[in-house]
Chain A
């Protein structure tokens, strides 16, 4: 393509060029700036900073935690997904809900709950007199992250189980394989794409996590970055750490894309109209219930109970209503504009992807995921360095925080708008055009009313995600800004579990709303009203 044609394309699609420029520029420019700043340092110094034992240890810890959490989430998610899709277990719907509900417990709240349960002053010690060492380090971080992120894998595996072609299993059985071997040789291999996409989400969460590793004091790239930022602010070293974290994230994305490519190539179009046979568990069903109860107890009841327990403690000393109100207001004042901005950026990107699908527009859609995949701590640091160096008036402003939220969560806004656009096929706009409407008039009178619901869902997603966001808020919030997430984290960090409880409770309430929106949407896509099929 020549330069002139590129210019023409941009002029024709200016409505997409602007958000794409904002999304790409907003994420890439600060990162490149960070890179340039790091390379300003003396190469020898740089070499010493990067090539040393500590880097290796950080890398080992980060990768070790990621792998550990991947195993942990698989152990939790796979049996639960199987139980809820492939067995005739009564109460499967409730179990499904239990597999999704942990999404309402952000990692740092889970870490807070684990810390507040164990240890000399923990709930266990106070109620049962049972003193266990307070959870921290690898085990603590591993538990908190596994328990709070396994729903991502659960949802992917569940969808995959439901989409399995039962005839494959039946033919394997007819060929003389026992149930267990059918599962290992036929079912598991078909679940690989779901494992990969769910696992990628889990891995991105672990790499981007800051709340859990800082509370559990486990030495990963994120934690080291936080220490650099909070204590000895060595700008060059912090930039190096951020860049190494980015490289690690990039490597995982590439690995996933490579593995997935080979798999999708082999997948045939699934025309399976039949639902797979459901196993009757007989007496084994009690084992199923016990497993589900264990998972739910640790991932939902434990944090809820802990927060409730410390809430009582906090209520006794008087609830900090003023501070709670201020934190809620600050959270909303940053999250609401971010939600609107993210939806506005997502609309043209989704529109282009749905109406003009091509390799080029797939790249544009990928751009929306760029901000999502970038570890938030590294992104926030890049934004700080960039704003200090290039646009000092923006440093520590609400505007910068809103921008960061919008770029980070834009990916969550694209999905609902895209599904809504599929409900508004291009023929509708063409019909409106031939009935005398201008291009803009046709969009406003026909397409916009049809995607309005999708836009609202997008905004709800981004709003609720931003409400519980921690690392971006931690680094970018204006001075004196206190959000629900910040307060939960900082009280928990100082082991002031009672003080943290009201904020944690509010966060869990907001997150429960998020799960509610998610479930409503799932239901809408799973069972479209028969009237809408037309």
Chain B
């Protein structure tokens, strides 16, 4: 494989010499044509990381290189205007005193007027906004503003595209559609992009690979499937959706869990915390099943599937089933694991975490 388009090594950023770092020794690489997402709760340092890559913030330590050219490093800080890096802001930052065409042509320095107009036109066609050239950005809808911002950033053909929560200002319906469009556009142009979000669903569906960030550090980097099904830490397991935590006694490839003996994704010894996603559990008839017997205490019907809350030995577990399985609260059922459980790293797993379903993640603004 060719060298990565973006390489961030041991990036550290603190605001003030005595302050604790907002970003601490963060390293990751983005391959050519890849869409990479940094996912984390607000205040985790993801936006600061992005702003370091864009050059708005000076890195306190570590290096940032694009196409093997060092942009930030010891004694080096290339200013934002000298980096071939484009950024789309959360609020789009369209210039209100310029028309849509002037906005898109803004970054095309050094070209003739005719060429600037032509390239701006091309960029606007690319995002499907022909006919709006002479409007002011204020007179466009949120989705259209978002596309102008994208066209403006893509027009100078940057090496790398940075997106800071670009979909969070759109309403839910438009968000999904726009996300799909933007992803197809970036893929068709072979653009490399780094994308920052606090929305796990957005990161999972938009990114080729993602990094989960917490407290200034990356907990895990991987494909959406890896990160979702093989979370490395308790935080990652909880942040990417609801799951069941089981305090277990591991012996090599298997462990004794409150839901019986289960295979592990990797060998372990002693007391471990393991995660089991609700869709990896099944409900069966207690008479014929080897699973742990429990009582249904709650049911949430979601159309395409059903989530049951089942109480086994004092702890509640979540189980996703398809909508053909029907139980009433109070029914006795058996819970059986379908897949190996995932061992969570001990660094972030205090032994006092109770077994059972994790709480609903805090909704963010």
Contacts and interface: CB of A to CB of B under 8 A. Distances in A.
A433 B138 contact: no
A423 B145 CA distance: 17
B89 A431 contact: yes
Interface residues of A, number: 24
A446 interface: yes
Interface stretch (A85-93, A128-136, A403-411, A434-442): A434-442
B56 A450 contact: no
Interface in A415-433: 423, 425, 427-428, 430-433
Contacts of A439: 79
B52 interface: no
A427 B91 contact: yes
A431 B56 CA distance: 10
Nearest to B139: A531
B34 to A, nearest CB: 20
- Chain A interface main SS type: helix
Interface stretch (B61-69, B92-100, B260-268, B270-278): B92-100
A432 B139 CA distance: 21
B125 interface: no
A437 B83 CA distance: 11
Contacts of B106: 432, 435, 445
Interface string A320-360: 00000000000000000000000000000000000000000
Contacts of A428: 93, 95
A433 B87 CA distance: 10
Contact of B96 (A433, A434, A441, A532): A532
A534 interface: yes
Given A428-B93, A534-B137, A435 B156 contact: yes
Interface in A54-91: none
Most chain A Cβ neighbours within 10 Å, of B79, B81, B136: B81
A54 to B, nearest CB: 56
B134 to A, nearest CB: 15
B137 A434 contact: no
Most chain B Cβ neighbours within 10 Å, of A427, A431, A533: A431
Given A430-B93, A450-B97, A534-B96, A436 B156 contact: yes
B94 to A, nearest CB: 8
Nearest to A449: B97
A427 B81 contact: no
B107 A435 contact: yes
Nearest to A430: B56
A433 B81 contact: yes
A434 B87 contact: yes
A227 to B, nearest CB: 54
B95 A446 contact: yes
A432 B106 CA distance: 8
A432 B80 CA distance: 9
Contacts of A427: 89, 91, 93
A531 B94 CA distance: 14
B152 interface: yes
Contacts of B109: 435-437
Contact of B91 (A425, A433, A445): A425
Contact of B81 (A423, A434, A450): A434
A494 B81 CA distance: 66
Nearest to B17: A5
B360 to A, nearest CB: 26
A518 B106 CA distance: 35
Nearest to A448: B97
Most chain A Cβ neighbours within 10 Å, of B91, B97, B156: B97
Contacts of B80: 430, 433-434
A434 B139 contact: no
A439 B85 CA distance: 16
B86 interface: yes
B91 A434 contact: no
Contacts of A531: 136, 138-139
Given A430-B54, A433-B56, A437-B109, 9 more contacts: A430-B89, A432-B106, A434-B56, A434-B83, A436-B109, A438-B79, A442-B81, A450-B96, A450-B97
Kindly list the 8 A-B residue pairs having the minimum CB-CB distance in the complex, ordered from nearest. Answer: A435-B107, A427-B93, A433-B80, A431-B93, A534-B138, A531-B138, A449-B97, A436-B81
Interface of A: 423, 425, 427-428, 430-439, 441-442, 445-446, 449-450, 531-534
29 contacts: A427-B93, A430-B56, A430-B80, A430-B89, A430-B93, A431-B93, A432-B106, A433-B55, A433-B79, A433-B81, A434-B54, A434-B55, A434-B80, A434-B81, A434-B153, A435-B107, A435-B109, A435-B152, A435-B156, A436-B107, A436-B156, A442-B81, A445-B106, A446-B97, A531-B139, A532-B138, A533-B138, A534-B96, A534-B138
